[in-house]
Amino acid sequence: MDEFSVIGKSIAMVDAAGKATGSGKYTDDLSLPGLLVGKILHSPYPHAVIKRIDTTRARELDGVIAIVTGEDAPNQYGILPVGHDETALAVGKVRYVGDNVACVAAVSDEVAEQALDLIDVEYEPLPAYFDPEASMKAERDLIHENRPNNIEKDYHHVFGDPEQGFVEADYAAEARYIANEVTHAAMEPHSTLASFEIDPHTGKQGRLTVWSSTQVPYYLQHKLSLVLELPMSQIRVIKPLVGGGFGGKSEVIPLEVIAAVAARAAKAPVKITYTREEVFWAHRGRPRTIIDLKTGVKKDGRITSVACRVIQDGGAYCSYGVVTILYSGALLGALYDIPNIRYDGYRVLTNKPACGAMRGHGTVNVRFAFESQMDEIAARLNLDPAEMRKTNLLKPPTVTVNGLRVLSYGLPECVEQVITRSGWNDRHGNLPKGRGLGMACSHYVSGAANSIIRSDMPHSTVNIKIDRDGGVVVYTGAAEIGQGSDTMTAQVVAEVLGCSLSRVKVIAADTDLTPIDIGSYSSRVTFMAGNAAMRAAEDVKDNIVNAAAHRMSCAPEEVIISDDRVWKRGANSAESDPQSWEAEAASGHVDGQILRGSVLQTRKNEGAKDHMSFEEAVVAAIDLHGGLTGTGSYAPPLEARGGKHKGAGVGPSPAYSYSAQVADVSVNEETGEVTVHKIWAAHDCGRALNPVAVEGQVIGSVWMGLGQALQEEMVWKDGLMMNPGLLEYRSPSSVESPEIECIIVESIDPEGPFGAKEAGEGSLAATIPAISNAIYDAVGVRLREVPFTPERVLAALRAKRGAKKVEMTEGVDPTQPHTFREHGGSLWFRGKGPQRHRADPARQGAAAGGAD
Amino acid sequence: MKKELIELRVNGRTHELAVPSNSLLLEVLRQELDLTGSKRACDDSSCGACTVQVDGVPMLSCTMLAASYQGCDITTVEGISHGGGLAALQKAYGDFGGSQCGYCTPGFMMTVRWLLANNPDPSDEEIRDALSSNLCRCTGYSQMYQAIRAVIDAEKKTTSHELAGARE
Say if residue B30 is in the same domain as residue B92: no
Interface contact A704-B93, CB threshold 8 A: no
Query: Of A17, A25, A740, which is closest to B94 when you measure between CB atoms?
Result: A17
Residue A831 pLDDT exceeds 80: no
**In this structure, are A745 and A607 located in the same domain?**
no
Identify the domain containing residue A273 by its residue range: 31-126+188-243+249-282
Please indicate, yes or no, whether residues A571 and A427 belong to a single structural domain of this protein.
no
* SS3 letters across A548-600: HHHHHCCCHHHEEEECCEEEECCCHHHHHCHHHHHHHHHCHHHHHHHCCCHHH
Domain count along chain B: 2
Residue A692 with chain B: CB contacts under 8 Å: 95-97, 143
> Which tens digits make up the pLDDT trace of A621-630?
999 988 999 9
Res A811: pLDDT: 46
pLDDT surpassing 80 at residue A841? no
The last residue of one of the domains, among A235, A258, A282, is A282
Is B57 an interface residue toward A (CB < 8 Å)?
yes
Same domain, A339 and A396: yes
Q: Which of B79, B101, B120 is the endpoint of a domain?
A: B79
Confidence category of residue B161, pLDDT binned at 50, 70, 90 = confident
User: What distance in Å separates the CA atoms of residue A449 and residue A452, rounded to the nearest whole number?
Assistant: 10
Interface of A with B in 788-847 (CB under 8 A): 828-829, 832, 834-841
Instruction: Give the domain extent around B34.
Output: 3-79
The answer to whether the Cβ–Cβ distance between B44 and A725 falls below 8 Å is yes
B160: closest CA of chain A, how far (Å): 28
Chain A contact present for B133, CB below 8 A: yes
Q: List beta partners, residue A288.
A: A313
Using one digit for the tens of pLDDT, what is the confidence trace for A732-748?
Answer: 999 999 999 999 999 99
Decide if A387 is inside a domain.
yes
Each residue of A193-234: pLDDT tens digit? 999 999 999 999 999 999 999 999 999 999 999 999 999 999
pLDDT, position A840: 76
Give me the pLDDT at residue A238, please. 98
Residues B75 and B106 occupy one common structural domain: no
Q: How many domains does chain A have?
A: 4
Q: Identify whether residues A741 and A783 lie together within a single domain.
A: yes
Residues A158-188: tens digit of each pLDDT: 999 999 999 999 999 999 999 999 999 999 9
pLDDT of residue A606: 58
pLDDT at A828: 38
Which residue of A733, A743, A763 is the best one to mutate when testing the B interface, meaning the one whose CB has the most B CBs within 10 A? Answer: A733
Domain C-terminal end among B79, B112, B146: B79
Do B162 and B98 lie in one domain? The reply is yes
Question: For B66-79, what is each residue's pLDDT tens digit?
Answer: 999 999 999 999 99
Residue B23 sits at the chain A interface (C-beta within 8 Å): no
Residue B159 and residue B106 in one domain: yes
Average pLDDT over residues A111-140: 96
Q: Give the integer Cα–Cα distance in Å for A122 and A401.
A: 54
Phi, psi (degrees; rounded to nearest 5) at B112 = -70, -35
Torsion of CA A724, A725, A727, A728, to 10 degrees: -10
Q: Are residues A627 and A654 in the same domain?
A: no
**B60 and B109 housed in the same domain:** no
**Any bridge partners for residue A405, and if so which?**
A399
Does pLDDT of A535 surpass 90?
yes
Helix (H, G, I), strand (E, B) or coil at A304: strand
Query: Which pLDDT tens digit goes with each residue over A790-808?
Result: 999 999 999 999 877 665 5
Task: Please tell me the distance in Å from B159's CA to the nearest CA on chain A.
Answer: 25
Is some CB atom of chain A closer than 8 A to the CB atom of B119?
no
Task: Tell whether A143 is covered by a domain.
Answer: no
What's the rounded mean pLDDT across residues A334-344? 98
Q: pLDDT averaged over chain B? A: 95
Dihedral of CA atoms A799, A804, A807, A810 in degrees, nearest 10, equals 180
- pTM beyond cutoff 0.90: yes
Q: For residues B70 and B132, is the Cβ–Cβ distance under 8 A?
A: no
**CA neighbor of B77 nearest in space, from A628, A33, A21:** A21
